[in-house]
Amino acid sequence: MTPNDPRPLVRVVAGIVLNENGDYLLSSRPEGKPYAGYWEFAGGKVEAGESEFAALQREFAEELGIRIHRATPWLTKIHAYEHAHVHLRFLRVAAHEWSGELQAKEGQQWSWQKAGDFTVSPMLPANGPLLKALSVPTVLTGRLKTAVCGENRMGEYRVVPYHLAEPHHRRLLIDAAEWGGKPLPQAESIWLLIRSPEEWPQVQDADVVVWQVADPQTAEAVAARLAQGVSLPLVVAAPPPLLAQYRSRWLAAGAHAVLADEETEAV
């Protein structure tokens, strides 16, 4: 519950469903519902006694006629609408994790959209920041000291350390400890690097957080943070030994991506 909104939180789930081309499924809200005609990631309210996954399965069957077989936690948001104060849990569903033929069972529209080039509007207010987050690749390579690279449906995606950045670089990696809380520079995307749980609350203005892990204690802290839910994409960078041990656990808990950080030695 946020200090400025005393209403109880309504638990809601939404599905980030992908197809084989890597596009995302969006649907419009039907007539008779708040924000009718607005586009969103489909989902709905979690009923009493229902798990988030069960609610996701039910909502997609009722609204779009497809079956969700598996889903992975991603981001958690709290948003105050005029009609409700909602706790939104977004779950990712890969192309092989659902089946069936899409149907507009509530008279809504649906569309497959490319991350970084969404063409439908208007979007539901709480979902706006997600569009930017979805353009961040889930497979990353490179080094934190030079550049982190990936690829999305729009092409190459490259993040450069701030001190190496040139005017044409649009995505910047900044060490939160070195930056010291100063106003963030203007850029298409700001990635903030942290190393401890204490830094997490201080970097919520970032577009992406990179958590550099050097020991099992910090690795467990990352897992605990993910279990509580994260409101922005979290990339975990760890040396290969720790990555081999924790990779599956972090990803299953909602890490956006993991990065092999060979320059940090495991303790």
**Cβ atoms 120, 29 nearer than 8 A:** no
Average pLDDT over residues 5-31: 92
pLDDT in the model for residue 265: 63
Return d(Cα 96, Cα 73) in angstroms, integer.
16
Residue 190's pLDDT band, with cuts at 50, 70 and 90, is very high
Cβ-based neighbours of 259, under 8 Å, separated by 6 or more: 140, 141, 142, 144, 148, 210, 235, 236, 237, 238
For the chain, give the percent of residues with pLDDT over 70.
96
Mean pLDDT for the chain overall = 92
- Of 186, 88, 73, 158, nearest to 129 by C-alpha is 88
Both tokens of 82, joined, read 């005029």
What distances in angstroms separate CA 43 from CA 27, 28, 68, 75, one per listed residue? 10, 11, 12, 14
Please report the pLDDT score of residue 1 as a whole number.
41
80 pLDDT band, cuts 50/70/90, is confident
pLDDT (0 to 100) of residue 132: 84
pTM to 2 decimal places: 0.91
pLDDT band at 153 (very low <50, low <70, confident <90, very high): confident
What's the rounded Cα separation, in Å, for the pair 205 and 23?
27
* 131 band by pLDDT with thresholds 50, 70 and 90: confident
CA 135 – CA 106 distance, rounded (Å): 29
Q: Indicate the pLDDT class of residue 204, thresholds 50, 70 and 90.
A: very high
Strands 141-143 and 147-152, by their bridges, are antiparallel
Q: What is the average per-residue pLDDT within 60-85?
A: 91
Residue 266 is predicted with a pLDDT of: 58
Q: Provide the percentage of residues in the chain whose pLDDT is more than 90.
A: 76
What pLDDT band is residue 81 in, cutting at 50, 70 and 90? confident
**Residue 256 near residue 237, CB atoms below 8 Å:** no
